[in-house]
Structure 1
Amino acid sequence: MLPRFIFCLGITFSVCALSAAEWPDVADLPERTEFPPALEMFDGTSVTTIKEWEENRKPELKELFQQYMYGYMPAAPAEINFEVQPEFSLLEGKARGFEVIINYAVDKGGETLPPLNLLVILPTNSDKPVPLFLGMNFCGNHTLLPNKEISLTNNWVYDSCGGVDHQAVEGSRGSQFNDWGIDTIINRGYGFAAFHSADLAPDVDDFSNGVHPYFFKEGQTSPDPHDWGTLAAWAWGAHRAVDYLVTHPQVRKEQIAIIGHSRLGKTALLAAAFDDRIALSIPHQAGCGGTAPNRESVGESVAIINRAFPHWFNNTFPLFSDDVNRLPFDQHELITLMAPRPVLVSNAVEDKWADPDGQFRMLQLAAPVYDLYQVEGLLDQQQPELGRLSNGRLGYYIRSGNHSMTRGDWLVFLDYADKYFGKQPAMNMD
């Protein structure tokens, strides 16, 4: 094996490489039935200070997650430009929207990757920068609102989104409106931005489309064992969206939150864990591969997810399907990469597949890192009752119902963001 490197992404796209030791093959990793302590290095050394965490353990965890699970994300592109499209009125004039076509190339003067189409929606009557939610969607930006000014995606969509043969149709405009509640978001004084995950990669396992082939070596047609999977590609796309958002004068760049549901909930946590510019993350019903433990078999297991969705991860992660105790981490340690930033893990009681109880245990195990920062981490030592938001920096919420995202969820998400971003002036849209 060759040594691998991880990269620090900066607003100016500078690259700071952290060399990493060679890691053992999966079969040579020690078995560990208990959850690994977050404040313990791979070699067993204890981490006792913020300096040791930030300079040693945090980079090590990023390396481990990329090596054995998600694959290595590329650095920021060498070239990136933003084509801002004309504005249009939304929500009866209470908001203004515009699209930003983000074009980028791996190398200066090199081939341009498929563009990312970012939809940005901002309150009309705010004269100050506003905090903003960045959301990743399954079905295309056109499904969030019915307005024809929003481009109909040309990329792959799930047929369950109202598509035909995985292509979007006009009849699907606005079909996800109640999932996102953008009118409520604007009314609460927040901005909103969104992109379609398939702008980066379709949710299929052949890696022939999207951004992946642009990073293959000459003659390569499929990912190597530690190359990035689809979740990492979607997270990398979120970083490119943030590249634009931090430049906009009406976006409060230090108050950008990211949210995703289900597989995009996994992505929301991964993206924020690897980009400190994201101030808050809400991985909603993220389950296995996101906020649920790998070392438990409640609901979806590592073996099941690797059989069903092997492309979400690198080609090394399936080697743990029947040997999860060799994983040198568990998902509480992905959560710790957020520290000391807030993260809200939200669930539904009927969504047993996502293991809501196990997700709360992951927060409990992440708490020592927040304690290291001497900030308010997990407020409830026992899982809170249905419908009550536990709003520490390690936040938790569970409601009645099933695997879905609703307007009621958004009221909770906004209440949580208000605590850390400050309550925003209402836009009085009613």
Structure 2
Amino acid sequence: MKIALAFLFSFIACQCLAQSNTDESKVQPYTLPDVLKMPDGKRVTNSREWQLKQRPYIYRLFEENQFGRFPATKTAIRFRVMESDRNALDGIATRKQVRIWLHPSDSTVYADVLLYIPNNVKKPPVFIALNFSGNHTVSTDKHIALSTRWVSSRAKGGVNNRATEASRGADTASWQLHTLLQKGFALATAYCGDWETDTVTGYQTGIRTTMKDILNIQPNEWGAMGAWAWGLSRIVDYLQQDKAVDARKIALIGHSRLGKAALWAGASDQRIALVISNESGEGGAAISRRWYGETVKIINNNFPHWFGAKYRTYGDSVNTLPVDAHMLLSLIAPRPLYVASAEDDKWSDPKGEFLSAFEAGKVYALFGKQGIETDKMPEPNQPVGETVRYHLRTGRHAVTVYDWQQYLEFASREFGK
């Protein structure tokens, strides 16, 4: 049986690789849906038409064809600061560990948010993000509570899908916490697994099941991306009542699969003031119609729990998909948007991410905002654009010091710091 399963998984992997392409000369011509063409055939000519007519129409297309329905039901969530220290990280920050109870009667349905606030700034802007393996991986700070949730076997320091003391600070390089605080920003993060674990069966114990009657939505009406995006909005709910931060200046960042969730959260919650996609690839910032790197078919075969069921039906007919990534990015307008790629991360299709960001500029122009002026791919480490900004970084699939330097400079400029 084990040999048979191994053969099956190997066969599936080979089939997926066979469907992929990383040769730019083999990319076939494609036509993008016109983001400004309304259902009646007329074109959007001003920001009012976009906000009142076209944006709601495109948003519904994403609900129906890619992400599934985003819960509209308001819930009576509760917050409690479980731990706080005004002298965290050798006195440079205040640390708060906040529990958000999501269910009105089931106390086991909650998420834990880790918040660091710089002590030398009054009401700082705040970056929010989900993390992959638990809040304790963000910093070596020994006072951060270890997650008790299931974690992936890939999680550093994990044993039998549980976090251990060896997990502390396992992902500090991705967060650059001290730099962020020194630049005058707060950070709020939560483990994506608090909302739903990243497995095919994660919905059974995640919010898509535990909250289905409260949110009036069934598990099959949305995917893990929607659950994670909805969770990000709950972090925003908390920040809006924490007087120590400026909740009008929330910057949302997401990497890889959590970058896809960040884009959907930014599209769904306009309280988020700035959105950053770091190598979000297929289903995120990369154009699906470009046959390069990961494809709609591959991503749904490998991660069928991420998106709505209808998205899977476009695997062999991607050109019939009524939406594409440039339309998702356009839903962020007129708020500042940063899209970033890595030169060696061909799976995420850097050029597809760039072209998507370029195309989104057509909507930003309706608001008098400047995007990226040319469709010529920039050289590595040469950021381009204004309110829509992009860079291609040298290196692999990751969040690096270089990335954070660009994001902090961008957010500082846009927030008037």
- Normalised to the residue count of structure 1, the TM-score between the two structures is 0.86
In the other structure, the counterpart of 1:300 is: 294
Quote the Cα distance in structure 1 between the aligned partners of 2:230 and 2:410: 25
Counterpart Cα distance in 1 of 2:396 and 2:66: 28
1:198 maps to which residue? 193
* CA shift for structure 1 position 159: 1.9
How far residue 33 of structure 1 moved from its aligned partner, in angstroms, is 5.1
The alignment partner of 1:193 has SS state of strand
1:282 corresponds to 2:276:
yes
3-state SS of the aligned residue for 1:171? helix
Is 2:33 the partner of 1:36? yes
Residue 271 of structure 1 corresponds to 265
Question: CA–CA distance in 1 between the matches of 2:240 and 2:108?
Answer: 21
The structural deviation recorded for 1:295 is: 0.8
| 3-state DSSP of counterpart to 1:47 | coil
Give, in whole Å, the separation in 2 of the partners of 1:103 and 1:149.
21
1:166-189 alpha-carbon deviations (Å, 9 max, x no partner): 211111101111210100000111
Shift of 1:134: 0.4
CA distance, structure 2, for counterparts of residue 228 and residue 80 of structure 1: 21
2:290, 2:385 → 1: CA distance?
26
The sequence identity of aligned pairs, in percent, is 38
Matches within 5 A, 1:218-367: 223-224=219-220, 227-367=221-361
Distance 1:342 1:34, change over 3 A: same
Contact 1:132 1:252 in 2 (8 A): yes
Q: Distance in 1 between matches of 2:114 and 2:217?
A: 32
> How far apart, in 1, do the equivalents of 2:263 and 2:82 lie?
29
Aligned residue runs from structure 1 range 81-120, under 5 A: 81-88=78-85, 89-105=87-103, 111=106, 114-120=109-115
Q: How far apart in 2 are the matches of 1:181 and 1:205?
A: 31
Cα shift at 1:158: 1.7
Letter in 1 for 2:172: F
Partner-residue secondary structure (3-state), 2:79? strand
Alpha-carbon deviation of 1:367? 1.3
What does 1:114-129 correspond to in 2, within 5 Å?
114-126=109-121, 128-129=122-123
| Aligned pairs, number | 385
1:27 corresponds to? none
Give the counterpart letter for 1:60 in structure 2.
Y
Matches within 5 A, 1:69-218: 69-88=66-85, 89-105=87-103, 111=106, 114-126=109-121, 128-162=122-156, 163-206=158-201, 207-216=203-212
Displaced runs of 4 or more, over 6 A: none
Gaps of 5+ in 1: 1-31, 424-430
Q: 1:64 aligns with which of 58, 61, 65?
A: 61
Residue 25 of structure 1 aligns with which residue? Answer: none
Alignment partner of 2:409 out of 388, 406, 415: 415
The CA deviation at 1:138 is: 0.1
Please give the secondary structure, in 2, of the residue aligned with 1:85.
strand
SS at match of 1:86: strand
Shift of 1:222: 7.8
Contact 1:37 1:365 in 2 (8 A): no
Secondary structure at 2:77 match in 1:
strand
Give the aligned partner of residue 19 of structure 1.
Answer: none
Shift of 1:262: 0.4
Q: Is the contact between residue 109 and residue 210 of structure 2 (CA under 8 Å) also seen in structure 1?
A: no
Aligned partner letter, 2:101: N
Q: State whether structure 2 residue 388 is matched by structure 1 residue 394.
A: yes
Partner of residue 50, structure 2: 53
Letter in 2 for 1:211: I
Native 8 Å contact 2:223 2:306 kept in 1: yes
**Counterparts of 2:242 and 2:385 in 1: how far apart (Å)?**
29
Unpaired stretches in structure 2, ≥5 consecutive residues: 1-28
> Within 2, Cα distance between the matches of 1:359 and 1:335?
10
**CA-to-aligned-CA distance 1:101-142 (integer Å, 9 cap, x gap):** 00123xxx554562010111001122x211110011001000
SS state at 1:375 partner: coil
State the distance in 1 between where 2:338 and 2:108 align: 33
Q: TM-score, normalised by structure 2?
A: 0.88
After superposition, the CA RMSD in angstroms is 2.0
Question: C-alpha separation between the residues in 2 aligned to 1:239 and 1:223?
Answer: 19
1:21 aligned partner = none
Residues 1:221 and 1:34: Cα distance change in structure 2 (over 3 Å):
closer
CA distance in 1 between counterparts of 2:260 and 2:240 reads: 23
3-state DSSP of counterpart to 1:97 = strand
